[in-house]
Amino acid sequence: MKRKGYEEGNFLDLVRAGAVRESKAARVTTRKGEQWAFYFRLGGPASDWHAIRSKREPVRTWAKLDTLAEFADKAGVRVFAVEQ
């Protein structure tokens, strides 16, 4: 079965281990409207993007990009691309 995403705790472990190679924030449409999701790669440019998932949803979302940026900073991610 293909992995849909990683829970936040697992993502934090991957960042601490230096396994996260590239990351991005992207707008997604949810039942709450337009929100932001965070994706990351563990390998090179040809590797799959993985989402951070929540316990209730397959993709964790943030209402504001600023809030997502705070999460990334606290996690140790210093640079990420933004897709609109």
Q: Model confidence over 6-51: pLDDT tens digits? A: 999 999 999 999 999 999 999 999 888 999 999 999 998 999 999 9
pLDDT grade for 68, boundaries at 50, 70 and 90: very high
Could you say which architecture CATH assigns to the domain 5-83? 2-Layer Sandwich (3.30)
pTM attached to this predicted model: 0.89
d(CA 65, CA 36): 6
CA distances from 10 to 5, 6, 14, 29 (A): 10, 6, 6, 25
Helix (H) or strand (E) holding 31: none
| 2 pLDDT above the threshold of 60 | no
> What spatial distance separates the first Cα and last Cα of the chain, rounded to whole Å?
29
Token look-up 């994706």 returns 39
